[in-house]
Structure formats: C-alpha cells, structure tokens
Amino acid sequence: MSLEPLTLTDILIATVPLMLIFATLFAFTTWLERKALARIQNRIGPNKVGIPCTRIGLFGLGQPAADGIKMIFKEDIVPRGADRLFHLLAPILALIPAMLVLCFLPLNFPWIKNIQGLVKPFMLDGAVIFFFAITGLNTLAVFMAGWASRNKYSLLGGIRAVAQMVSYEIPLVLSAVIVVMMVGSLNAAEIVKEQADEYWFILSPWGFTAFVIFFIAALAETNRSPFDLPEAESEIIAGYFTEYSGFKFALFFLGEYIAMFAISGLAVTLFLGGGDGPGVTMNPEDQGLATEAFPGLSAVWFLAKIFALIAVMIWLRGTLPRLRVDQLMGFAWKFMLPLSILNILVAGFAWHAEQLDNTIITVITWVISFAVLYGAASGLNQLNRGKVRPREYKYAE
C-alpha cells in the first residue's frame, strides 16, 4: 500500500455531505430536545417560529434557525483578564475532534460507494482506536476554555470536566474492548459485518452489559445530564463556558451535540449492528459495503438507530436528577470499572465456548454468563450502597 493520490474533489465528496447532514441533524435535535423536555415538564415548548412573515407555526421547527441567527449577532465578550488566544481556540478545538470522528463511522452513504477505490473513509484498520484517541481531545478543549476564561467558576467547571471525562473514559474503552475481542478486529466495517452475520452484540449477556456501561459512560463523556456537573447551573453558573457568548458559545453547543452523535454512532457500530437492518445485506467480500433495497437504506437505518439513542438521552435528561461529585466518581471507579473488567473475563470464556460450535454448550454459557453478570452487578450495588452517605450540611445548619 502506498499513499493513494487523492484529489480535492474526492475529499470534498467524502466529507462535506457528512458535515452538512450532521449540522442539519444538530438543528433538528435541539428542537426535538426542547420539545421533548417541555412535554416531560408539562409545557408546550417552542411553537411560534415557523415560516417568516406568516402565522404558520410548523410546531416551532424554525426555532433552531432563529436561535442560530440570534447567536451570530450577539456580542462576543472576552473578559479582560482572559487569555485571548486560548479563549478563541477552545471552542474550535471542541468542535474539530467531534467532527473528525464522524469519518470513522461506517455510514454507507450512496455517494461514497462511487469513490470507494480512492477515498476510504471507514476502511481504516484501527478505526475504533482512532475514535477513542480523537474523542479524548475534547477534554483538552474543555480544560482550555475553563483555564483561559480566568474565572474561578470556569476553572472549577473545567477541572470537574477533566476529572469526569478521564474517569469515565476507562469503562468506555473497556466495554468497547469486548466487541473488539469478539470480532478480532478494530475495523468498524468488519465489526458491523460480523454482527450482520452472527447477532447484534447487544443481544448477548456480555454485550448487553457492555452496552449499558458504554452508554452510561458516553453520557458522562459528553457531559449530558445526569452527569452534567461541569456545567451545573445551580453550583458553578455554567461551568467552563460561563465566559462565552455569541458565536463561540454556539460552537461549543454544536461541538457538544456533534460529540453526542459521534459517540451514539460508535455505540450503534459496536453493539447495534451499524447499518444492518431489514432490506440490507452486508457483502462479506466487499468489506462493509451493503446491498440495499434502495440506495441509502443502510445509512437511514444507521441514523435511525443514532436517533433512538439520542431520544433515550433526552428522556434521561428530563427524568434523572444531577449526581453529586462523590457519587459520580464512586460510580465510575467502584461500580463500572470492576463490572467492565469482569465482563471482559466473561466474554473471553464465552468466546472460547462459541469456538466449540456446539449449541448446547453455547446456551449453557449464555445462561451462566447472564447469571454471573447479574450477580456481580447486584453484588456491587449492595457493596456500594452503604458507602454513599447522605449529604452533610457543614456550613448551612
């Protein structure tokens, strides 16, 4: 293999639609989130902005556009003591890694097929490890924003975010290890193909446990509620973006949602069969490309699965209260980490049992591993129960 000659056109065909699609989905998701949260809280939500100069409301679908216009025309305020360069760079650094990792998702867009020979957006051999490497950069952006603002609440938010992201990255990666181990490849397309051939990994006991751990860790990694301590309004104003306004704030916002899409996309790739679904057949010899009932069906399935996960995230945000810092750390280190390590062991035994190719043994393995994982989860729960004390009010009696 040598470096293939890429023309600018190929690169643009591969990347520009990806950005446009996800930016549009971002706009739609903000609307969806506001509507859904409003419904959970017994409100109506945005319903006024529709087609300009008419009274047609369209359920408030024009709200994202209005928000965007407002954001762009707001004044950009930089605090006097702030580090101007880092204050500017932080939102950009927050957005770029999130956008970059979208390339590693095995989305079978129809126009990518035509240039398959040249641009191989998802054929990278180590796609999964690249994904984790690049999402890790988000942490730095958050720290940069918190530090550059020269504001103690920003700094507290930044440090909280770094501690949280570093802690939850471990269970996140360990639960992805299981899938990599079962497939024997870090290639996203091969992982999807394996699931299309065998079963979606979420359907097995270890896969389900890994998926739940992955999803919770993903919530923490993207600073979503109930893990939104870095931006907890009631404690530290708005955390690391207290001092951000206007377009820079919009960039942070966009980066956060794109990161949500990206990590949901990885969850779909690893556990939910990627672009697999009714009407789609994965071609074994064609490495991840699919035969579809109509072009783009596989990508539609992929995006639909991402949206299912996003909907769960919104639902959790409307339902669960925010955690405390000690609960957050304790949960990561005392519950998720031991469980995911045990899960790797269980998956290893299960893989060896599956190699025997005997149905009875496989069924017995599944039952035993389900029992072991369930027992471990409830045991850890019992162990940790007494440890988390109720809040002590030291200063406010």
Partner 1 sequence: MNEVVAFWILSVIAVFGALVAVRKRNLIHGVFALLVFFAGLSGLFLLLLAEFIAAVQVLVYIGAVGILLLFAIMLTERVTGDDDRRVTSRGWFWGLVVTAAVFVVLLLPAIQQLPPPKAAQTIDPSVKELGHKLMNPYVVTLEVLALLLTAALIGAVTAAQGVRMPKEEDSPE
Q: Which is nearer to partner 1, 4 or 233 (CB)?
A: 4
Provide, rounded to whole angstroms, the least separation between the CB of residue 213 and partner 1: 20
Contacting range for partner 1; rule: CB under 8 A; set: 1-9, 48-56, 205-213, 289-297: 1-9
* Nearest-approach distance from CB 283 to partner 1, in angstroms: 20
Question: Which C-beta is closer to partner 1: that of 178 or that of 250?
Answer: 178
Report whether the peptide linkage leading into residue 226 is cis, meaning its omega lies within 30 degrees of zero: yes
Q: Is 351 in the site for partner 1 (CB under 8 A)?
A: no
And the tokens for 28? 């739609």
Of 136, 296, 318, 338, the one binding partner 1 (CB under 8 A) is 136
**Does 166 participate in binding partner 1 (rule CB under 8 A)?**
yes
Footprint of partner 1 on 73-92 (CB under 8 A): 86
Give the nearer residue to partner 1 in terms of CB position, either 134 or 272: 134
Among 51, 72, 110, 184, binds partner 1 (CB under 8 A): 184
List residues bridging with 280 in a β-sheet: 292
Q: Any contact of residue 170 with partner 1 (CB under 8 A)?
A: no
d(CA 342, CA 169): 17
Contact flag: residue 153 with partner 1 (CB under 8 A): no
Sites for partner 1 among residues 100-129 (CB under 8 A): 124-126, 129
Closest separation in Å from C-beta 2 to partner 1: 6
Stretch of 134-142, 201-209, 265-273, 375-383 contacting partner 1, by CB under 8 A: 134-142
Angle subtended by helix axes 152-183 and 205-221, to nearest 10: 160
- How many residues at the interface with partner 1, by CB under 8 A? 30
**In angstroms, rounded to a whole number, what is the distance separating the alpha carbons of residues 356 and 368?**
16
Q: How does DSSP assign 193-257, residue by residue?
A: HHHHHS--GGGSHHHHHHHHHHHHHHHHHTT-TTS-GGG-HHHHTTGGGTT--HHHHHHHHHHHH
* Among residues 26, 109, 122, 147, the one that binds partner 1 under rule CB under 8 A: 147
Provide the minimum distance between the beta carbon of 117 and partner 1 in the complex, in angstroms, as a whole number. Answer: 16
Question: What is the Cα–Cα distance from 228 to 213, expressed in whole angstroms?
Answer: 17
Element holding 101 (H helix, E strand): helix 84-101
Q: What is the nearest approach in angstroms of partner 1 to the Cβ of residue 104?
A: 11
**Residues sharing a CB contact under 8 Å with residue 264, sequence separation 6 or more, in sequence order:** 218, 306, 309, 310, 313
In sequence order, the 6+-apart residues with CB closer than 8 A to the CB of 94 are 138, 141, 142, 145, 251, 252, 255, 256
Residue 288 CA, chain-centre distance (Å), reads 22
215 contacts partner 1 (rule: CB under 8 A): no
Does residue 259 belong to the site contacting partner 1 (CB under 8 A)? no
Distance CA(60)–CA(37), nearest Å, equals 14
**Binding to partner 1 by residue 212, rule CB under 8 A?**
no
| Distance (Å, whole) CA 112 – CA 21 | 14
| Contact flag: residue 177 with partner 1 (CB under 8 A) | no
Among 30, 63, 139, 209, binds partner 1 (CB under 8 A): 139
Q: At what angle do helices 137-148 and 127-135 cross, to 10 degrees?
A: 10
Question: Is there binding between residue 2 and partner 1 (CB under 8 A)?
Answer: yes
Amino acid identity for residue 356 in this structure: L
* Near partner 1 by CB under 8 A: residue from 133, 312, 341, 356: 133
Q: How far apart are the first and last CA of the chain?
A: 70
Are 122 and 103 spatial neighbours (Cβ–Cβ below 8 Å)? yes
Backbone angles phi, psi at 105, to 5 degrees: -75, 135
The whole-angstrom distance between residue 50's C-alpha and the CA centroid of its chain comes to: 30
Minimum distance from residue 147 beta carbon to partner 1 (Å)? 6
Binding of residue 144 to partner 1 (CB under 8 A): yes
Binding site for partner 1 (CB under 8 A): 1-3, 5-6, 86, 124-126, 129-130, 132-134, 136-137, 139-140, 143-144, 147, 150, 155, 159, 162, 166, 169, 184-186
